[in-house]
Amino acid sequence: MCRGPACSDIDRAVGTAQWFDRSAHARSSMKKTCKSAMLNRIWQASRRAVNLEHSPPHVFACSQWQNGTKPATFYFIYRWIVFLTVLCVGISSFACQRLPRLYDGPRVELNYLKWFIYFTNWGYLLIILQAGLAIAVVHRYRAQKTFNIPCEDEEIPMSRRQRTPLLCRAYWLAHTVATDLAFVITLIYWTLVHDPRIHDINTLNLLVHGGNSILMLVELMITAHPVRAAHAVFGAGAGLTYGVFSAFYWSVGGTDRIGLPAIYPALDWNKPGSALGFVALCAVVMMFAHGAATCVSCLRVKIAARIMPARADRLALPTH
């Protein structure tokens, strides 16, 4: 058994080493715990940003420019006008299909069902869908007698908040994707797709490739619900979904309305590199389009805050 000053020094050294080992282990455990907690916070924040929850939900039935919390009559009428207009344009676009005026190729028998293979028409169907869902939301809240709206100083924990109704979430999603697609369709069509030899410039063409963006821009300025930056993933996802559909359609021998193997010349899967590049370009442009929509929505809120501050405050409640 070791005794004396030398042994005491050894014992102190061993104790110090053990203390450092324990401290290092504690620091390592703390770092892992902090890292895990940080990753969990980032994950939860990302989920909240992407989800379709918003409080109070009645803003989906209101205009930014009305007083009160019940849907205004003028907004109710506006919603019906928009729905009937886009429905009539959509039906006309489907029913009035014909070969381009300058088409000089072989005789082709038009297949009306091929109307559904075009990205433009996917976008327009979404515009019709969001207009119909908007009417349903307005009808729901016009029939509702009271609104459970928290006071401005009252903060309700997430666990106690009611979920946003499915109808409102469906409308919000359809509106978001329809807006992004409208902007991208207008831009891509007139810069990369339009060919005077096969595309006529007529009223219907202008309505579905230009009127779509004008309408959704007006919608952004009239409605009261927010536009979240993180929701750009929905529009980009829709664009990528169409890219997958076009590749599958080409792989099973599908053709466009005049018998060509590519739905769009720029989306020709006989040239997979250029087709993938076009899909990627559309997805990137979709993100920028959503950024523009977000800016328009913020501008609407700022203008409303100056003109109608009381109304703006009542709509600026927590969004998560």
Q: Global pTM? A: 0.80
Give CA–CA dist 161/172, Å, rounded.
19
Mean pLDDT, rounded, for 5-28: 60
Question: Is residue 86 pLDDT above 80, yes or no?
Answer: yes
Mean pLDDT, rounded, for 269-282: 91
Mean pLDDT, rounded, for 94-121: 84
What are 288-319's pLDDT values in tens digits?
999 999 999 999 999 998 887 765 444 544 34
Secondary structure (H, E, C), the chain: CCCCHHHHHHHHHHHHHHHHHHHHHHHHHHHHHHHHHHHHHHHHHHHHHHCCCCCCHHHHHCECCCCCCCCCHHHHHHHHHHHHHHHHHHHHHHHCCCCCCCCCCCCCCCCHHHHHHCHHHHHHHHHHHHHHHHHHHHHHHHCCCCCCCCCCCCCCCHHHCCCCCHHHHHHHHHHHHHHHHHHHHHHHHHHHHCCCCCCCCCHHHHHHHHHHHHHHHHHHHHECCCCCHHHHHHHHHHHHHHHHHHHHHHHCCCCCCCCCCCCCHHHCCCCHHHHHHHHHHHHHHHHHHHHHHHHHHHHHHHHHHHHCHHHHHHHCCCCC
Share of the chain above pLDDT 70, in %: 75
Return the pLDDT at 47.
58
Return the pLDDT at 32.
58
